[in-house]
Amino acid sequence: MPKNVSRYYWWCQISGWGFLGLVIVLNSSTFEQKITDKLIGLMAVSVLSGILITHIFREVIRRSGWLLLPVEKALPKFVIGIFLTCVTAGLLRIVVVDALNLVSLSRNKMDFMPRLLATTLDSGLLIIPWTLIYYFYHYIENSRKQQLDTLKLEALVKELELKTIKAHINPHFIFNALNSIRALVDENPARARTAITELSNILRSSMQAEKLETVTFEKELNIVKDYLALEHIRFEDRLEIEYDIDEDTLDQPIPPMMLQTLVENAIKHGISKQVDGGKVKIVSDFKDDYHELMITNTGYLNGNRNVDGFGLASTKNRLQILFGQRANFDIREVNGNTVEARVLIPVDLSK
């Protein structure tokens, strides 16, 4: 147990039971009873036995793991535990009071069992509230900790997804890009140098992705343009590229490498499988209170909506972690020979 938590617990124990002792003295003064040594002794026995017994009960609760159980399973254990604790507290008080000769005349005339019952009931009036306070304090603390753990887990998942996306860049694309650049070295050295810069930009962006939660759409779009420029070297006239971008959307935040993943998917599962190639179109606009991104490509889904396993499966989760449940992602086939990937990101209207 952390040292500060232990200190807080003991302060609560001493303060709570000390307040009880003060109430006993004040109650006697209110009813004009004389404050005697016996009364002080009874008060001390009540306070010290209360601290001792509840501390032992607390250790039983902690070591048995009752606080980790569901309420329906913990309740019977707590009922039995409270009963045994109250009886133990009653016995302890009787033994100590008799040993110190602090018993009152009225209680001294009582038989042992009625006296034990009365003392047990007295103890129950204190131990039951103590148990309820202790249980609900830890119930609230555990709920709060669970919420924090959930947030930390979501953050960790998000970080791992970004790192995985970084590592998930299609190695075939890199090999194809290098082969294309090698073919250009003699044929078109200037274009080869430009292609090397474009590939460098893409790799640098993928390495920085794990450090960022979001990037501006403009920055991501520039990387995608470098990617498509490299792919155009390979596909030549088989790849047609079209952009329909509302300039007001350029400063909107999006997850890093998300657009890159969707466009790469369009090339890999769409254009590369068409004998005559096809067109990739990127659309960015505002629709109602959303930033709408659409990536369309010539091709077919063939009934498989999760055509790239990781990339598309993670896109929706990443969007909802970063932007909430209103964010959405969907992919579908339209017009018989076109695949449309559509992303909706809620716009922060407070800006």
pTM tops 0.85: no
Q: Is 234 exposed, middle or buried (0-12, 13-18, 19+ CB in 10 A)?
A: middle
Mean pLDDT, range 152-179, rounded to an integer? 64
Where b means 16+ CB within 10 Å and e means fewer, 268-277 reads: bbbbbebeeb
Residues pairing with 253 in the sheet:
216
What tens digit of pLDDT does each residue of 93-102 get?
888 877 877 7
Q: Tokens for 68, please give them.
A: 């980790």
Contact between residue 310 and residue 287 where contact means Cβ atoms under 8 Å apart: no
Take residue 57 and report the two structure tokens written for it: 């009960």
Rounded mean pLDDT, 172-192: 77
pLDDT value, residue 349: 58
The pLDDT of 70-89, averaged and rounded, is: 89
What whole-number distance in Å separates Cα of residue 147 and Cα of residue 222? 38
What pLDDT does residue 158 have? Answer: 63
Q: Domains in the chain and their CATH numbers?
A: 3-151 (no CATH), 169-346 (3.30.565.10)
Query: pLDDT grade, residue 307 (50/70/90)?
Result: very low
Mean pLDDT of the chain: 80
What are the structure tokens assigned to 266, written together?
């369009």
Tokens of residue 253, six digits: 């935040």
Which of 77-86's residues contact partners 24+ apart within 8 Å by CB, and which partners?
A: 78/131, 78/135, 81/57, 81/131, 82/124, 82/127, 82/128, 82/131, 85/53, 85/54, 85/56, 85/57, 85/123, 85/127, 86/120, 86/121, 86/123, 86/124, 86/127
Q: Hey, which of 38-52, 167-181, 219-233 has the most confident mean pLDDT? A: 219-233
Element (H, E) at 78: helix 71-99
Three-class secondary structure of residue 347 per DSSP = coil
Asked whether the predicted pLDDT for residue 106 surpasses 50, the reply is: no
pLDDT at 326: 86
Portion of the chain with pLDDT greater than 90, in percent: 16
Q: Give start and end residues of each alpha helix (H) in 102-250.
A: 105-108, 112-168, 171-187, 189-208, 217-235
pLDDT score of 328 more than 60: yes
Interatomic CA distance for residues 36 and 70, integer angstroms: 48
The predicted-structure confidence for 220-258, as pLDDT tens digits, reads as follows 899 889 888 888 888 888 999 999 999 999 999 998 888
